[in-house]
Amino acid sequence: MSQTPNNSQIISMKLSEVLGDIGVSEKIVLKRRRTFLLMEVVDTTARRLMGKDVNSYNFGSQSEGSTTMELDSDIDTLFGYHSYRYLNVIQNQTERRPGAWNVLMVQDETTSPGYCLLQLLQPDYLLLLHKLSLDAKKFVADDKGRLLMKNTYFDDLVVKYDGKNGPAHVFRGNAHTNDEDNVIAWYCKSWPTEAKPWLLKQGIGGWPDENIKRYCKNTGCFIVPVGSKSGKNEELEWRISTSHAERRLMFSLNITQIRCYVLMKMILKTFINPQCNDVITSFMCKTVLFHCIHNTKSTEWQEDNLLQCLKSCLSLLQNNVENENCPHFIVPQNNLLKGKIPASVKPKLIEILQSLIDRSTDGDLLQSISIDHLGLRYIAKMGVFPGIILHKTIQSHESPDKIPVKLLRHIAAQLSISHRSLLKCILEGGNEIKQNRSAILTLVKRYEQSAHILLIPFLHSSFASVIASHDLDINKTISSEAMALFSAGLNSDISSGKLKLASALYCSGDMGKTVCILLKTECEYDKKYVEPICKCCKHPQPYIRPGFFDKSNTGNEDLIKYITSFCVRFLPCEMKCVPHELHYEMYRSTQVDMSHRHKHNDYWMDWAVVDSLPYLYFLQYKTFGHLQKATAQQRALTELIQTVETEQNLGHRETALNLIGQCMEQENRHTDALNFYVRSLNMCERNNVAKIHICRLLNILINRKVPEKRKK
């Protein structure tokens, strides 16, 4: 191919089109950012309202919008303790806070650039010793008499993770979920001393401008529990992180700069790391990008110059490798490559980078990138072969069209997890909640003032059910306060809020209103596009219905109210709002089963939890039975069975099977009932109340047969 600038411009424009086609477009980048910032708000709100002084931050490629379907970047979450148990992280003595436990960031001749020690200041650490009963696992006194915090301090807070990646605890995903890297860190509200010169540094293209720098300065920094591999005190050092500022820098980039970064990561994954032991990281690529943008005019970063921008970044990366120095963009004294490149790898790495630079001139290297079929898409754009062949070749389950679907499910999952955590908080204060209605209403107002609008309706429904259960226990009627809260929670999603109200009304004996709500809910529940949502436990999502796929592309997070169906959760303190058949689920675990439960994730097993659609038909069966409408009752039972047999994405199928079994008992179809209980137990052999149902039913059948034989 010709290497004329005109040809380079053509290649750059076609390449930009390809990247847009795979989701690196302004629309999708903004949608990714909106999604993960929203997840931050929901998670932080839940944690704060549970009394935890922690902010949740989603950093990295997912929240930046600098990823694609097949790059499949991890979800990087940092939990920043802002004032944990009154602990105050400071950079100098003037920031000490009276009455707080002040921890000083110490940087001296022993610490690596970009790292610090954390010293508990006297007399504060004497108070800490008394309050926390500190042990050698978390603190050590050095030869200077300083009490220093080890960077293993947070290790006890995280359980059952799948590995470590630097400071991050790694939780593996599956074919349908991303891996998660979770970091726990201290927050310091002041900007790092080492980073202050960066605020005065001027770039050739005027980036970052003064407004961005001012914002970055006000973000402070995080103190992350990991030491430098080349430092003298790896166990005691903590890394100073400016992740918040770096995310703001990413948010300020234009689409060409984002695309250049995505290309670098694809090249890294395709050509470099498989041969060079992963010595180059995506964060180094981001750092190189920042330096290139800082040192070039903004007019260079245009769609028709993408190829040249990529070449410049690769050339700078090669220069960094040759010098074994990749300076951190904000704290340049911190060399990201120090001690990272083995002598045996360096010549090969330089050779690969030179080859990539040469091949980037005419776009030749692009053809070999299989990630998101970028190479095939590129040569199709260049007219090498017809697009119809491309379409047939790249028909895969990881189509970029699924990005909005995944993003909507991310938000729904966060809502489900946050709601579950808040219910645990309610449960732990169960006695007070049952006895003090005014306290509940006060707590609801706190949520209304601070929670994200998507989370509020779920909380309204839960609090309404707790109050209604207390009402029914005392007065046999549901109070106006509870009804008002039920009303406010009706539109949390398509079904769960409505079913909470219907369940309470059923238990109060108001069958007429119950039927009205159930029929209305069924009418609104379009099975072609409503997707069940459950994050009680990890299970694969094998199927996404086409209707949900299509609807997800038509709007933002508000779609959750119309095309998702969350599972229905009942706490023990809601017992009076739960049909007796569902009570059993609160007693699913034997002593042996308890040992098979995850201490921190499976607490919901002490509740009654059921998927919305099976519960809808179960309540219809029960309600029509009370109203003596036999035809409608049998239709409801048929729909219940059909749902369990055909709906692929149920999170609590074993519970639904247990409900069907109890319906069969009421139909005097005991053999069928036993079959459903056995199916339930085969599906979930631990923590399943089907064991009790089977024993109970066998006892009934045996005791019934004995008298019959005596009569003969």
Contacts of 546 (CB under 8 A, 6+ apart): 528, 529
Mean pLDDT of 283-299: 96
Q: Is-contact 79 66, C-beta < 8 A?
A: no
Confirm whether 589 is domain-assigned: yes
Shared domain for 280 and 238, answered yes or no, is no
Confirm whether 686 is domain-assigned: yes
Shared domain for 430 and 561, answered yes or no, is yes
Q: What are phi and psi of 361, to 5 degrees?
A: -60, -40
Q: Tell me the per-residue pLDDT of 530-580, one tens digit each, with 9 for 90 and over.
A: 999 999 987 766 678 899 999 998 889 999 999 999 999 999 999 999 999
The domain tally of the chain equals: 4
Residue with tokens 């997707």: 531
Shared domain for 464 and 392, answered yes or no, is no
Q: Tell me the per-residue pLDDT of 234-265, one tens digit each, with 9 for 90 and over.
A: 889 999 999 999 999 999 999 999 999 999 99
pLDDT of the residue at 132: 52
Confirm whether 41 is domain-assigned: no
Confidence of residue 498 (pLDDT cuts 50, 70, 90): very high
Confirm whether 51 is domain-assigned: no
- The rounded distance, in Å, linking the Cα atoms of 305 and 636 is 63
Q: Which residue, of 524, 558, 573, is where some domain finishes?
A: 573
Shared domain for 202 and 225, answered yes or no, is yes
Q: Going along 45-130, which residue ranges are E strands?
A: 54-59, 75-81, 87-90, 101-106, 115-120
Question: What CATH number does residue 690 fall under?
Answer: 1.25.40
- Report residue 1 CA to chain centroid gap: 45
Shared domain for 244 and 291, answered yes or no, is no
Shared domain for 535 and 619, answered yes or no, is no
pLDDT of the residue at 710: 35
- The rounded distance, in Å, linking the Cα atoms of 427 and 466 is 10
Shared domain for 497 and 544, answered yes or no, is yes
Confidence of residue 352 (pLDDT cuts 50, 70, 90): very high
pLDDT of the residue at 708: 39
Whole-prediction pTM: 0.89
Shared domain for 490 and 597, answered yes or no, is no
> Could you tell me where the DSSP H helices lie in 429-535?
430-435, 437-450, 456-474, 480-488, 496-508, 511-524
Confirm whether 385 is domain-assigned: yes
Whether 330 shows a pLDDT value over 60: the answer reads yes
Shared domain for 199 and 327, answered yes or no, is no
Shared domain for 586 and 519, answered yes or no, is no
Backbone φ/ψ region at 212: left (φ over 0), alpha (ψ -120 to 50), beta: alpha
Confidence of residue 400 (pLDDT cuts 50, 70, 90): confident
Whether 430 shows a pLDDT value over 60: the answer reads no
* Percent of residues in the chain assigned helix, strand, coil, to nearest 5: 55, 10, 30
Whether 711 shows a pLDDT value over 50: the answer reads no
Q: Which residue, of 221, 250, 279, is where some domain finishes?
A: 250
Q: Which residue, of 346, 367, 398, is where some domain finishes?
A: 398
Question: What CATH number does residue 270 fall under?
Answer: 1.10.1410.40
Shared domain for 139 and 231, answered yes or no, is yes
pLDDT of the residue at 158: 64
Task: Report how far apart the first and last C-alpha atoms of the chain are (Å, whole number).
Answer: 98
Confirm whether 34 is domain-assigned: no
Confidence of residue 392 (pLDDT cuts 50, 70, 90): low
- The rounded distance, in Å, linking the Cα atoms of 251 and 30 is 9
Shared domain for 291 and 306, answered yes or no, is yes
Confirm whether 54 is domain-assigned: no
Q: Tell me the per-residue pLDDT of 24-43, one tens digit each, with 9 for 90 and over.
A: 999 999 999 999 999 999 99
Confirm whether 269 is domain-assigned: yes
Domain ranges, residue 98: 73-250
